Amino acid sequence: MPVKHFLILTLVLVFVFHIPVAQAEKCSNPNPLHFSFMTKTNTIEQAQHYRSLLNFMEKKIGRKIEIILPTSYDTAIEGLLSEQIDFAEMGPAAYAQAKHRDSSIEVFATYARPQGTFNEEGVNYHSLLIVKANSPYKDINSLAKKKVSLVDPASASGALIPRVLFSRNTGMPLEDFFGGIVYSGSHDRSAQSVLNGHTQAAFVSSALLDESITQGMFNRNDFRVLWKSAPIPNEPTVYRNKLCSKLKEQIRSVYFNSGEEIAPLLSKLKAERFVPVNDKDYKIILDMSTLR
């Protein structure tokens, strides 16, 4: 099994790894830099997309940047908090969760998306409750005691937002309203579950659903939306506060002042451009009292 081989390889690497030397207390200036991202579909593929940006950044700031492959949203959270990851693209909820545990990270960028089938143009997206288009479910109440797919406990649109905002509609926790909750691990797997009839409904990101449709995984007519959340800012790219200012400046510069160099990534992200943001933009997420 290739996965097993991979595990063994990882174990071996643990011992031969070059162990970074501790930095001065003042600011962190790690070399190489570690980057991670939120899992969406295929993490290996995703890593290749980010590679174009990172290669460019490596040249700009003159040090190697390594990618920590995520297994869940927790990878980035724990990685950032344990200072194993220096900057990362996260889910909004994951960011909120990490921020809640330790405020040593801050958001600096997100991206704006164009108009899609389910998604609006701009820096926001929505959590959608979708059902199969030809299913008998026409409103929220018809889904009572049915099985629903969530994405990952730390996914904003795929878990956090529904848990907080959707529960306000029904007046009860998701576990009580639905007959069963299944974490699928990714947005497209959730949507696939609904199509296959494994679950009757799913909470997914409007942006990622669009992306799957663009990739041809689904048809735009496959789903019906029964509920749509308030706007959620797109995935935040964050770094550790402790990183030296100059490094942070260099990173930001690559994100906002690059042209052709990051176009491939933007294209893969189905994004138009990176937009500078701060915590105020993520107030809706950060404010959610029941994050834990």
Partner 1 sequence: MLGAASLSLLMLLAIWLYILQSIENQERLVIENTKSFQHNLSATVSENLNQLLDRGKLFSAFSSQLLENQQNTLTQTRITAMLGTDQAFNRIEIYDRHGQKIFSSAPSLPDATLNNVIQQRLAIDIQNVKSGMVFGPIPKTLSDAWQIPLLYLVKDSREENTGVLLLVLDLGYLLRLNQNLAMSMTEIINIVRDDGQEIARASIAGLEFGGSALITSNITTANSTNPFVHFKPLFQDQVSRIITYQHSDRHPFSIIVSQEINEMLKSFREKKREALLLVFFLTMVVIISMILIAFAIQRKQRAFMALVASEIDKNELILKLHDEKQKAFDLAETDYLTGLYTRNKFTELASRYLINAKRNRLHYAVLFIDLDRFKAINDSLGHHVGDLLLQTVATRLQLTLRKTDVIARFGGDEFVILLTGLQNESDITGVAKKIVETVSQPCIDLASHDLQIYPSVGIAIFPRDGNDMIALMKNADLAMYQSKHSKNRSYTFFDASLNTENILEFTLDQHFSTAIKNGEFVLHFQPKIDLSSYQIVGLEALVRWQHPEHGLIFPNTFIPLAENTGHIIELGNWVIEASCRQISAWKSAGIPIVPVAINVSGQQLKSDTLAKYLTQCLDQYGLESKYLQIELTESSLVENIETAKTILNHIADSGIHIALDDFGTGFSSLGYIKNLPIHTIKIDRSFISNIRNSHDDAVIVTSTIALAHNLGMRVVAEGVETSEQLVYLRASGCDEVQGYFFSRPVPDNAIRQLLIKEKLCP
Distance in Å, CB of 260 to partner 1, minimum: 32
Distance in Å, CB of 246 to partner 1, minimum: 24
**Closer to partner 1 by Cβ: residue 22 or 260:** 22
Closest CA to 127 of 135, 119, 116, 115: 119
**Closer to partner 1 by Cβ: residue 148 or 277:** 148
106 vs 207: CA distance, rounded Å: 23
**Closer to partner 1 by Cβ: residue 192 or 234:** 192
Count Cβ atoms below 10 Å from residue 67 Cβ, excluding itself: 19
Distance in Å, CB of 196 to partner 1, minimum: 8
Q: How far, in Å, are 92, 93, 99 from residue 286 at the CA level?
A: 9, 8, 8
Residues that bind partner 1 (CB under 8 A): 3-4, 7, 10-11, 13-14, 17, 19-20, 22, 34, 39, 68-75, 77-85, 97, 100-102, 104, 147, 149-150, 152-154, 159-160, 163, 174-175, 178-185, 189-190, 193, 196-199, 291-292
Half-sphere exposure of 173 (CA within 13 A, CB side): 5
Kindly state the helix (H) or strand (E) to which residue 97 belongs, with its residue range: helix 92-101
**Closer to partner 1 by Cβ: residue 56 or 177:** 177
136 vs 156: CA distance, rounded Å: 27
**Closer to partner 1 by Cβ: residue 19 or 259:** 19
Q: DSSP code of 235?
A: P
Q: Where does the chain show beta strands of DSSP type E?
A: 33-36, 65-67, 87-89, 105-112, 124-125, 127-132, 147-150, 180-183, 201-205, 223-228, 232-233, 237-240, 273-276
Distance in Å, CB of 42 to partner 1, minimum: 10
**Closer to partner 1 by Cβ: residue 94 or 277:** 94
Given the DSSP bridges, would you call strands 127-132 and 223-228 parallel, antiparallel or unpaired? antiparallel
Distance in Å, CB of 117 to partner 1, minimum: 23
Distance in Å, CB of 68 to partner 1, minimum: 6
**Closer to partner 1 by Cβ: residue 166 or 255:** 166
Distance in Å, CB of 185 to partner 1, minimum: 5
- 259 token code pair: 């042209």
